[in-house]
Amino acid sequence: MIITNKTVKYIIHALLLVCGFIWIYPFIWMVLASVKSNNEFIMSNNPLPESLNWDNYTRAWIDASFSGYFMNTVIMTVATVAIVVILSALTGYALGRVNFPGRKAVIIAVVGVMFIPKGYTIIPLYQLVEQLGMTNSLAGVIVAEASGAHTLFILLFTSYFATMPKELEEAAIMDGCGFVRTFYRVMLPLAKPIIATTVIMQFIWTWSSFLIPTVLTISKPELRTLAVGMQNFVGQHSTDWSGMAAGATISLLPVIIVFILMQRYFIEGVAGAVKQ
Amino acid sequence: MAASKTNKTNLTKSWNRWAVVFLMPQTIVFFGLSLYPIIMSYVYSFYSWDGASPLDDFVGLSNYVELFQTPRFWGSFLHTIYYVFGTTIIAVGVSLILAVILNTKQFKGKAFYRTIYFLPVVTTTAIIGVIMNNIFGVNGLVNQTIQTIGIIQQPVPWLSDSSLAMLILIAVGAWKSLGMNMIYWLSGLQSIPTELYESAQLDGAGFWRTLFHVTLPLLKPILAVILLLSIVNGMHAFDLVKTLTNGDPYNSTETLDLYVFNYAFGGGTDGTISRMGYASAAGVMLGIFTLIISVIFGGLNMLTQRKSNKHANGRVI
């Protein structure tokens, strides 16, 4: 469809720009507030800061232990993403390239688990992690985070590997590559777009995860992630508004940057999800 | 020839064996970390259990009976319905308008607008909750702004009035998920062949006629999918509700999954004891409600698709 009328076009642009500014104003507000002093934050109506107060960041980073939260979040996210990529690539490769007996049953299980009504699975997960003796380290959080069925990613890898030409495989076998070498030398490098989609989507999900780290670090404040640690500002630190804004900026900036740089893969993944 | 045949079967055999090896890790995760917790989430719901002592007090259905007799549970059910329908109507409706604009040909700045409106989707919900709690606070940004402009004299109690708090929750939820629906719509719009638009233009159809007679009818199948995703998504709003209102004031914004959390990990109403069994029963009910809605929408989706198929077939004949 084409909008031909020039005036209409300008009006639409103006509307989109004004609404867009309001749309992302909470983020702009957050960044501006993070460099104001607490006094200025409460008293002044001027949206722009009078001067740059970087000590809000020092306070959040050191006093409110955001340095620890940040490291925990990075470790949790990187480990979870790595596990999920490896698991779903291996599974997708077996399902996409090998017509082994029982292949259909595996696919049905992978898709079917999405349709089983789940109860409150965080309670058994918590119990399981406790029984495995993992509550004292981030390992427990990582195991719980990687616990999904990864249906979307497995299906993406399966259909991608299935479309690769047989000649590639035959050539690799001719060169003396076995099954495993063919996979990681020839096939896996070709699946870069799917790997990228998986990495980006899982990165954003895990970084933002809240329930699992909340429950698994309920008695372990030193293992908390950014999303969980941020809640400190709601209760006891609730007077430190600009510290809160600095903490929020520290937490949100990495996802926003990753998203803006790699949004093509993320949006393709989302669009792929609705088509599946 | 016989030799190559045995070679091939050997190869198939070894490949099948490798396939099993490749499937092993995910299989262990699947049974241990996906299926086992799902099964246990049902098992726990039949016990009276605090989460720490041994699981030996089997109580049958009494957790469920108690649940059905608790007004607070039905209240949280109602709040979930409000939230789900509020966010779905706003986010799915408005995102369609955005997607239609961003899908028009020769419209500059598409990628820029898409990034802007999609941004809230990728940001951490639990942190958005804290930020919004501040923005809508009594002395927060919104009250400051409208007081400065002079619309009101007294600050509006956005989060301490029950109906207003629910409205804010819905507004923020819709804001957060609108970009996602926009991408869904765009992927639906892009699957419409451009020839259809061209022939509509040849027939002299303007923007609105094309929209109502070509575009929207063709989006019907994807509407069902988007509605379903939006509803299921809205059933699980824990991150936002917990951090934005925490169910306040007086549990008037407590949704089902916050209710479950409060009984499992927050001590429920009367203090300190976790009621894992009771919470599990509430969790099962949440899962069943979600399933019922999914089945209804799945059925509707199939019906509309069958209808449109019939329609298309009729036209060909």
Superfamily of chain region B62-312: MetI-like (1.10.3720.10)
- Our CA-based measurement puts residue B311 at a distance from the nearest CA of chain A, in whole angstroms, of 22
Phi-psi region of A265 (alpha: psi -120 to 50; beta: other; left: phi over 0): alpha
Could you report the per-residue pLDDT of A132-143, keeping only the tens digit for each?
988 889 999 999
Q: What token pair was written down for A35?
A: 């460099």
Interchain proximity A94–B23, CB inside 8 Å: yes
Q: Which residue of A has its CA nearest to B244?
A: A234
Q: What token pair was written down for A219?
A: 């008695």
Largest Cα span, chain B: 94
Interchain proximity A12–B44, CB inside 8 Å: no
Q: Give me the residues of B, 15-44, that contact A with CB < 8 A.
A: 15-16, 18-20, 22-23, 25-26, 29-30, 32-38, 40-42, 44
Domain locations in chain B as residue ranges: 62-312
Least CB–CB distance from B22: residue in A94, A101, A218: A94
Interchain proximity B15–A100, CB inside 8 Å: yes
Which of A242, A142, A36, A230 lies closest to B124 in space, CA to CA? A230
Q: What token pair was written down for B290?
A: 């979600």
Could you report the per-residue pLDDT of B37-71, keeping only the tens digit for each?
999 999 999 998 887 788 888 888 989 999 999 99
Interchain proximity B33–A144, CB inside 8 Å: yes
Tens digit of pLDDT at every position of chain B (317 positions): 445 556 667 777 888 888 899 999 999 999 999 999 999 999 999 998 887 788 888 888 989 999 999 999 999 999 999 999 999 999 999 999 999 999 887 788 888 999 999 999 999 999 999 999 988 988 888 888 888 887 777 888 888 888 999 999 999 999 999 999 999 999 889 888 888 888 888 888 888 888 888 888 888 888 888 998 899 899 989 999 999 988 888 888 999 999 999 998 876 555 557 889 999 999 999 999 999 988 887 787 777 777 666 555 444 33
Cα–chain-centroid distance for residue B37? 21
Interface pTM (ipTM) of the complex?
0.89
Q: 3-class secondary structure for B33-55?
A: HHHHHHHHHHHHHHECCCCCCCC
Q: What token pair was written down for B201?
A: 């233009």
Q: Give me the residues of A, 165-194, that contact B with CB < 8 A.
A: 179-180, 183
How confident is the model at residue B249, as a pLDDT? 86
Beta-carbon contacts of residue B185 (< 8 Å; ≥ 6 apart)? B95, B96, B98, B99, B100, B219, B222, B226
Beta-carbon contacts of residue B91 (< 8 Å; ≥ 6 apart)? B173, B174, B177, B178, B180, B181, B230
d(CA B298, CA B302): 6
Count of all residues that appear for chain B in the document: 317
| Amino acid at the residue B44 | Y
Interchain proximity A94–B118, CB inside 8 Å: no
d(CA A93, CA B173): 38
Q: Looking at the domain A67-275, which fold is it? A: MetI-like fold (1.10.3720)
Interchain proximity A274–B215, CB inside 8 Å: no
Q: 3-class secondary structure for A196-247?
A: HHHHHHHHHHHHHCCHHHHHHCCCCHHHCCHHHHHHHHCCCCCCCHHHHHHH
- Our CA-based measurement puts residue A179 at a distance from the nearest CA of chain B, in whole angstroms, of 7
